[in-house]
Amino acid sequence: MPVMHRGVRYNCRVLFLNRRILLIRPKMALANEGNYQELRWFTPWSRSRQTEEYFLPRMIQEVTEQETVPFGDAVLATQDTCIGSEVCEELWTPHSPHIDMGLDGVEIFTNASGSHHVLRKAHARVDLVTMATSKNGGIYLLANQKGCDGDRLYYDGCAMVAMNGRVFAQGSQFSLADVEVLTATLDLEDVRSYRAEISSRNLAQASRVSPYPRVKVDFALSHREDVPEPLSEALEWKYHSVGEEISLGPACWLWDFLRRSQQAGFFLPLSGGIDSAATACLVYSMCHQVCEAVKDGNQDVLADVRAITSQVSYTPQDPQELCGRLLTTCYMASENSSQETSDRARELAEQIGSHHVRLSIDPAVKAVMGIFHLVTGKSPRFAAHGGSSRENVALQNIQARLRMVITYLFAQLSLWSRGAGGGLLVLGSTNVDESLLGYLTKYDCSSADINPIGGVSKTDLRTFVQFCAERFQLPALQRILAAPATAELEPLADGRVSQTDEEDMGMTYEELSVFGRLRKLAKMGPYSMFCRLLHTWAGVYTPRQVADKVKRFFATYSVNRHKAATLTPACHAENYSPDDSRFDPRPLLYRSGWPWQFRCVDTQVLQLERGQRQDLDGVD
């Protein structure tokens, strides 16, 4: 909780026992990168191994019957052991407090964490906890927040109990339950025996460590009657596959948003492509989890379902039936749409049970273009019909933007037209790679209330859709996986799709993921990225081809960076997200030609090509 001490605001853990506060432990290392800006609100406690008196507010004094309590960096000494405390980020720092605490005799470390979900992050979290007790011995209790906090992050639990480098209890990573209690029965003598055998720890470090202030607690965690209690057995951590993670994490995030927004469901433009299909599958997965939670007796989830559906006696049992109540899908056809995508959208809607609508946007497109012709006397044409690039893009954009307008109209009035109450949250379906490159129309169907796949790469989405096809028995997804990704905004060629996403972008989605990670995680610009990929893609592309791809990425990214300012709030699941609101704040305007950087790349390419020619000249 936030605690004001001597006019300074600290982020603290408050440790209490039997209505009395034992210690207020301020956080010493604040998270101030990526999604976190703790330094905006709090000051880190910098006085290591020191405490002060904290005068409790009168309203607290009346409850605890205490006037002052210790405030600072200290540990608790019970009758049978010593307990230390870390706070979230401190576990992730190079010199975590548990190191010196363990050397000073602390046997149990507790951590109250607010660690958000990112795909594949559970491995790092488990490694940190097990390594904390493997090198130094001890018991580590990690409790982590669960659920959506009303923003872009989902906190994924993963509570655990570890001892001496092994895990003895594993909590769920994804769940609709608000609270989960995790227990393990361990022997403190195992910690003492383990530590006694590490001579380098005892001789070189533990005997010289500066002691922590100890707050004495008249309490014991163990007693003589514990002898017959069976001890917990060590276990192997069970990790979710990437497909499972996506099916569970963003789906839980969706449920929290739905119940907290007090809306009646979701509205999704379903195009027959992989992105919108993945979004539909997430809603279907959410319905599965809701039905399972209700089946397991979760009364809170049942109450939320009844409030959302406005039916006080309703009990969901079938995910497909529940999906029909909560999800409305809509295929918005135009003269550039193919029958294949329409059929794929309809088949998927039937299999997941969503209420499906099919409509044509052509009358709206013709009406808007009629206004333009009336005012200017001009009629733009597609490139396929002899039009310029500007005309071609404008004609694509008007279709995309009108779909957004129609989407919000139906989200507001769709349930009203069926005699039901409430409105629908609009779901977006732009993946993280398209958001990064700006391969989307500003204020088209990428503009929505929330976007559950906006932090997931196209590659991982394909893995997720394949997982759903097998897990939920949805054969329509196999046809969607086999189809090329396309926006279907340009005229068809003989009734078939003539436009594909990867051709439009000039790079594959796999390559785009590589660019995204190097840009954000490795902090690379054009020249350093070219140098890295020169070796990574050696044997696949020539130096000039690598240079062309890198320059195309940065030119397109910089031209479209302004679109990041309007991205729909998305579930954060990938560390190269371009989310401009908090995670990746950067300029919205770049020099798209990158003159100095691109010149360095071109110079390096010429030198490499010159060297290759000289090598060939020396060959007989």
pLDDT at 461 over 80: yes
Residues 434 and 514 in one domain: no
- pLDDT mean over 265-273: 95
pLDDT at 351 over 60: yes
Question: Distance between CA 104 and CA 64 in Å, rounded?
Answer: 30
- Which pairs with CB-CB distance under 8 Å and at least 24 residues apart come from 177-186? 177/146, 177/293, 177/298, 177/300, 178/146, 178/147, 178/300, 180/146, 182/143, 184/232, 185/229, 185/230, 185/231, 185/232, 186/139, 186/161, 186/231, 186/232
Q: Which two tokens stand for residue 377?
A: 């006397």
Per-residue pLDDT tens digits for 443-453 = 988 899 999 99
Buried b (16+ CB within 10 A) or exposed e, 80-117: ebbbbbbbbbbbeeeebbbbbbbbbbbbbbbbbbebbb
Beta bridge partners of 470: none
pLDDT at 297 over 50: yes
Residues 199 and 271 in one domain: no
Residues 296 and 163 in one domain: no
Q: Is 306 within the bounds of a domain?
A: yes
Q: Which two tokens stand for residue 378?
A: 């001009």
Predicted confidence at residue 619, as pLDDT, reads 47
Amino acid at residue number 294: V
User: Mean pLDDT over all residues of the chain?
Assistant: 92
Q: Which two tokens stand for residue 290?
A: 């809701």
Per-residue pLDDT tens digits for 314-336 = 999 999 999 999 999 999 999 98
Of the candidates 466, 483, 484, 462, which has an alpha carbon nearest to the alpha carbon of residue 475?
466
As a three-state string, the secondary structure of 465-533 is HHHHHHHCCCCHHHHHHHCCCCCCCCCCECCECCCCHHHHHCCCHHHHHHHHHHHHCCCCCHHHHHHHH
Per-residue pLDDT tens digits for 464-476 = 999 999 999 999 9
pLDDT at 616 over 70: no
Cβ–Cβ < 8 Å for 119, 246: yes
Amino acid at residue number 480: I
Q: Is 28 within the bounds of a domain?
A: yes
| Parallel/antiparallel/unpaired status of strands 108-113 and 139-144 | parallel
Q: Is 396 within the bounds of a domain?
A: no
Longest dimension (CA), the chain: 95
Query: Which CATH number does the domain housing residue 427 bear?
Result: 3.40.50.620
The contacts of residue 549 (CB under 8 Å, 6+ apart) are 506, 507, 511, 533, 541
Predicted confidence at residue 363, as pLDDT, reads 96
Predicted confidence at residue 492, as pLDDT, reads 66
SS percent in the chain: helix, strand, coil, step 5: 45, 15, 40
Residues 211 and 268 in one domain: no
Per-residue pLDDT tens digits for 222-267 = 988 888 889 999 999 999 999 999 999 999 999 999 999 999 999 9
Specify the number of domains making up the chain: 3
Cβ–Cβ < 8 Å for 194, 167: no
Residues 316 and 210 in one domain: no
Looking at 425, 458, 488, which one is the last position of a domain? 488
Predicted confidence at residue 617, as pLDDT, reads 55
| Parallel/antiparallel/unpaired status of strands 146-148 and 154-156 | antiparallel
Predicted confidence at residue 497, as pLDDT, reads 59
Q: Which two tokens stand for residue 353?
A: 């049970």
Share of the chain above pLDDT 70, in %: 97
Residues 44 and 167 in one domain: yes
Residues 271 and 416 in one domain: yes
- For residue 495, count other CB atoms closer than 10 A to its CB: 8
Query: Which CATH number does the domain housing residue 206 bear?
Result: 3.60.110.10
Q: Is 494 within the bounds of a domain?
A: no
Amino acid at residue number 558: S
Q: Is 283 within the bounds of a domain?
A: yes
- For residue 570, count other CB atoms closer than 10 A to its CB: 27
Residues 466 and 613 in one domain: no
pLDDT at 164 over 80: yes
Of the candidates 339, 340, 308, which has an alpha carbon nearest to the alpha carbon of residue 325?
308
Per-residue pLDDT tens digits for 369-392 = 999 999 999 999 998 889 998 999
Residues 457 and 530 in one domain: no
Q: Is 455 within the bounds of a domain?
A: yes
Residues 424 and 457 in one domain: yes
- When pLDDT is cut at 50, 70 and 90, the band that residue 613 belongs to is low
Which residues constitute the domain of residue 87?
Answer: 2-216
Residues 23 and 163 in one domain: yes
Looking at 198, 216, 234, which one is the last position of a domain? 216
Q: What is the pTM of this model?
A: 0.91
Residues 206 and 246 in one domain: no
Q: Is 371 within the bounds of a domain?
A: no
